[in-house]
Amino acid sequence: MAEFIRFDRITKFYGPLCVVENLDLGIAKGEFVSLLGPSGSGKTTLLMMLAGFEQPTSGNILLDGTAINAVPTHKRDMGVVFQSYALFPHMSVGENVAFPLQMRGLGKAEIAERVARALDMVQLSALAERRPSQLSGGQQQRVALSRALVFEPRVVLMDEPLGALDKQLREQMQLDIRDLHRRLGLTIVFVTHDQSEALTMSDRVAVFNKGKIEQIGTPRQVYDEPATRFVAEFIGETNLVEGVVEAVEGAEANVRLTSGAQIVSAVSGTVAPGQTVYLSIRPERVDLTEIRGDARNCLETEVTDSVYQGDHLRVQLQNAAHPLIAKLGRRSREFPPGTKVYAAFSAGDCRVIVP
């Protein structure tokens, strides 16, 4: 894929505080990339630099191959959607959406037509005369969205646009935005700290930590093949177990846990025998059986607690040296505390992480 946006060794300091550190990131045309990370990890800052509200301390931002560091915001042609919507309180919904077109000096008739189309796209045509204050949160959000899209920007930037909405509305909007992305072929950079939002919506997810990208990949990659301990722990829930590599065969490694048990695990990076590593095992990939089955990995454990959580059963286990958690489908039978069970999982459900 041709690269459309390129962050080239971007560093940003606020005074002595390094907020973004030597960051490289490429985004393709038509791609939906989420920036995911904990609070204060520099996501907004990166977005603000892309929009031109902030200047990088060093490094270049390239758009379509040309550096845009010196281009002021209003000439960058990027639609920005803020968490707080930032609608103009003194203009009606229609005037809000017309604003970017007026700034581009379009004719009255064309503006009217495109505003109507943009409002229609988010099903707000009936409310064009209202003031933003007379709209619900979701409606305001849709106005902000259509305002950012109406001028067909080269890139759409969204900073936690759904953060202020309730769960149901948020899920509806997630689908709507995804749908728009597909229909219009938009390039979208989307900031969120909600991992499920990032996983459901994006083509690729960039996981941020302390101003750096820990991992970038498809939702499946960052979830199933976490590259670092941070990613494994930040995205979804995981069991982290310490061990030493004994042998490596192709994409699999033999790891001896501190309890002495032997585990065969998938490896994505390079590891050498003798190295201390972590194993990440997703709780929902763990199966519980009373007899030792034929799974590649099988740990002897005892149930310490089990909690029914509606859509799944959450079982806490104690292996000789490690606590483990398993999430079982709701059809699973109950495991009362004290039950001796085997925790079984395949080599592919387990990842070696170099600390």
Partner 1 sequence: MSAGLSRTGRSLILLAPLLVFLIGFFVWPLFSMMSQSVSDTAVLRLLPRSAEVLPGWDRKSRPTMPMQTALMEDLKAVDDDQALGDMVRRLNSARSGFRTLMSKTTSALGDPANPPADLVSIDKRWEKPEFWLAIADALSPLTDRNLLAAVDLGRNAAGDIEHLPADQSVNRVILVRTFWIAALVTFACACIGFPYAMIAASLHGWKRDLMLAAVLLPLWTSLLVRTAAWFILLQERGLINDLLQTLGLIDGPLPLIFNRTGVIIAMTHVLLPFMVLPIYSVLITIPKNLMPAAASLGAHPLRAFMRVLLPLSFRGVASGSLLVFISAIGYYITPALIGGPGDQMISSIIAFYATGSANWGMAGALGVVLLVATLLLYSVYARLSAEEPGRR
Partner 2 sequence: MPMKLTKFTFASLTILFLVAPLIAILPLAFTSSVILTYPIPSWSLRWFEELFFADAWRRAIVNSLIIGTGTTLLATVLGTAASLGLRNRLIFFRGTIRTLFLLPMVVPAVVLGVGMQVLLAGFGLTNSYAGVIIAHTVVAVPFVVVSVTGALAGIDERVELAAQSLGASPTAVFRRVTLPLAMPGVASGAVLAFATSLDEVVLTLFVAGPNQRTLARQMFSSIRENISPAIAAAAFLFIAATIIIGLVVVLSRSMLAKRR
Ligand X SMILES: Nc1ncnc2c1ncn2[C@@H]1O[C@H](COP(=O)(O)OP(=O)(O)OP(=O)(O)O)[C@@H](O)[C@H]1O
133 interface partner picked from partner 1, partner 2, Mg ion, none, CB below 5 to 8 A per type: partner 2
Q: Select from 146, 234, 158, 236 the least CA-distant residue to 184.
A: 146
Residues 251 and 264: their CA atoms lie apart, in Å, by 10
Task: Kindly tell me which of 191 and 279 has the beta carbon lying closer to Mg ion.
Answer: 191
16 binds ligand X (CB under 6 A): no
42 binds ligand X (CB under 6 A): yes
Q: How many CB atoms lie within 10 A of CB 51?
A: 17
Q: Are 177 and 200 in contact (CB under 8 A)?
A: no
Residues 222 and 198: their CA atoms lie apart, in Å, by 11
Please select the residue that binds ligand X; options are 5, 10, 19, 158, rule is CB under 6 A: 19
355 interface partner picked from Mg ion, ligand X, partner 2, none, CB below 5 to 8 A per type: none
From 42-50, 60-68, 105-113, 266-274, give the range in contact with ligand X by CB under 6 A: 42-50
Binding residues among 191-250 for ligand X as defined by CB under 6 A: 193
Least separation in angstroms between CB 86 and partner 1: 19
Task: Kindly tell me which of 71 and 112 has the beta carbon lying closer to partner 1.
Answer: 71
Please select the residue that binds ligand X; options are 25, 27, 34, 43, rule is CB under 6 A: 43
Sign of the alpha-carbon torsion through 61, 63, 65, 69: negative
Least separation in angstroms between CB 87 and partner 2: 7
Task: Kindly tell me which of 47 and 124 has the beta carbon lying closer to ligand X.
Answer: 47
How far is CA 254 from its chain centroid? 31
Task: Kindly tell me which of 88 and 308 has the beta carbon lying closer to partner 2.
Answer: 88
146 binds Mg ion (CB under 5 A): no
Phi, psi of 128 (to 5 degrees): -60, -30
44 binds Mg ion (CB under 5 A): yes
Q: Roughly how many angstroms between the first and final C-alpha of the chain, as a whole number?
A: 32
8-state DSSP, 129: T
Please work out the total of residues on this chain that contact ligand X, with binding judged by CB under 6 A.
12
Q: Are 318 and 301 in contact (CB under 8 A)?
A: yes
Residues 150 and 111: their CA atoms lie apart, in Å, by 10
- Tell me which amino acid residue 276 is: T
> Helix (H, G, I), strand (E, B), or coil: what is residue 24?
strand
SS3 assignment for 315-337: EEEEECCCEEEEEEECCCCCCCC
Binding residues among 152-191 for Mg ion as defined by CB under 5 A: none
Site residues for partner 1 per CB under 8 A = 55, 70, 72
40 binds ligand X (CB under 6 A): yes
Q: Which residues bind Mg ion (CB under 5 A)?
A: 44
Q: Which residues bind ligand X (CB under 6 A)?
A: 14, 17, 19, 37, 39-45, 193
Q: Which residues bind partner 2 (CB under 8 A)?
A: 51-53, 72-80, 82, 84, 86-90, 99-100, 103-104, 131, 133, 147-148, 151, 157
